[in-house]
Amino acid sequence: MGNNAIAVMASGKGSNLRVILDAVAAGRCPVQVKLVISDKADAQALEIARAAGVPQVVHLCPKSYADRASFDADCAELIDAAGCQWIVLAGYMRILSSPFVRRFRGRMINIHPSILPAFSGAKAVEDALSYGVKASGCTVHLVDEVLDGGPILAQAVVPVLDGDTFESLHARIQVEEHKLYPATLARMVTSGFDIEGRRVIWRT
Site for ligand GAR in 6-35 (CB under 6 A): 10, 12-16
Distances (CA, A) of 163 to 132, 160, 167, 169: 12, 9, 11, 9
Q: Which of 23, 113, 136, 186 binds ligand GAR (CB under 6 A)?
A: 113
62, 38 Cβ separation under 8 angstroms: no
Q: Of the residues 59, 112, 170, 178, which is catalytic?
A: 112
Q: How deeply is 172 buried, as exposed, middle or buried, from its count of CB atoms within 10 A (0-12, 13-18, 19+)?
A: middle
Q: Which of 112, 119, 136, 154 binds ligand GAR (CB under 6 A)?
A: 112
Site for ligand GAR in 175-194 (CB under 6 A): 177
Q: Which is nearer to ligand GAR, 122 or 197 (CB)?
A: 122
- 149 contacts ligand GAR (rule: CB under 6 A): no
Widest distance between CA atoms in the chain: 49
Q: Which is nearer to ligand GAR, 57 or 90 (CB)?
A: 90
Catalytic residues: 112
